[in-house]
């Protein structure tokens, strides 16, 4: 085993910067990080990245177009919908997002427009897996 004593438990390191992910000894905060469920959905130049926080439940969503962030939102039982849109270099996108609670999932309705090709619409529902105690 390689000794990595300089890496403290509960932290992530990136480009010389550290960020606390969870508090060591706090099972709930560690579980929230270690059991986080994330999904990625793509339609050509459009990408949706969403992560479920099971303690809420809430879903953090980030939308990118051509690799550039055009918006983000957090969905919860009290705020179940949001819309994100933007344009870059002649490409346009509008995404409507919805948190569905029974069964738990993310509804995505997107319209993407590209030069020459025109516009295309997509609709998808992505369920989150149910966690069960062992």
* pLDDT, tens only, 42-53: 999 999 999 988
Instruction: Kindly state whether residue 42 falls inside one of the protein's structural domains.
Output: yes
Instruction: Kindly state whether residue 134 falls inside one of the protein's structural domains.
Output: no
Q: Please give the Cα distance from 46 to 127 (Å, whole number).
A: 20
The mean pLDDT of 113-134, rounded to a whole number, is 83
In terms of pLDDT, which residue wins out, 4 or 71? Answer: 71
Mean pLDDT of the chain: 84
Query: How many domains, the chain?
Result: 2
User: Which residue from 60, 62, 68 is spatially nearest to 91, judged by alpha carbons?
Assistant: 68
- What domain range is 58 assigned to? 36-127
**pLDDT in the model for residue 2:** 58
Instruction: Kindly state whether residue 45 falls inside one of the protein's structural domains.
Output: yes
> Quick check: pTM over 0.85?
no
User: Which residue from 98, 106, 111 is spatially nearest to 128, judged by alpha carbons?
Assistant: 106
Question: Residue 7 has what DSSP assignment?
Answer: S
Instruction: Kindly state whether residue 133 falls inside one of the protein's structural domains.
Output: no
Same domain? For 21 and 79 the reply is no
The mean pLDDT of 104-130, rounded to a whole number, is 92
pLDDT band for position 125 (cuts 50, 70, 90): very high
User: Which residue from 60, 75, 67 is spatially nearest to 93, judged by alpha carbons?
Assistant: 67
Same domain? For 58 and 97 the reply is yes
């Amino acid at each position: 085993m390689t000794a990595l004593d300089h890496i403290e438990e509960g932290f992530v390191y990136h480009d010389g910067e550290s960020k606390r992910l969870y508090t060591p000894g706090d099972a709930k905060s560690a579980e929230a990080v270690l059991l986080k469920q994330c999904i990625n959905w793509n339609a050509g130049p459009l990408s949706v990245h969403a992560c479920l926080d099971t303690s809420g439940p809430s879903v953090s969503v980030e939308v990118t177009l051509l690799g550039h962030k055009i918006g983000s939102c957090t969905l919860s039982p009290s705020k179940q919908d949001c819309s994100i849109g933007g344009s870059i270099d002649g490409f346009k996108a509008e995404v409507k997002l919805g948190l569905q609670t029974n069964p738990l999932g993310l509804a995505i309705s997107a319209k993407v427009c590209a030069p020459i090709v025109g516009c295309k619409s997509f609709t998808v529902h992505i369920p989150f897996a149910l966690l069960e105690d062992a």
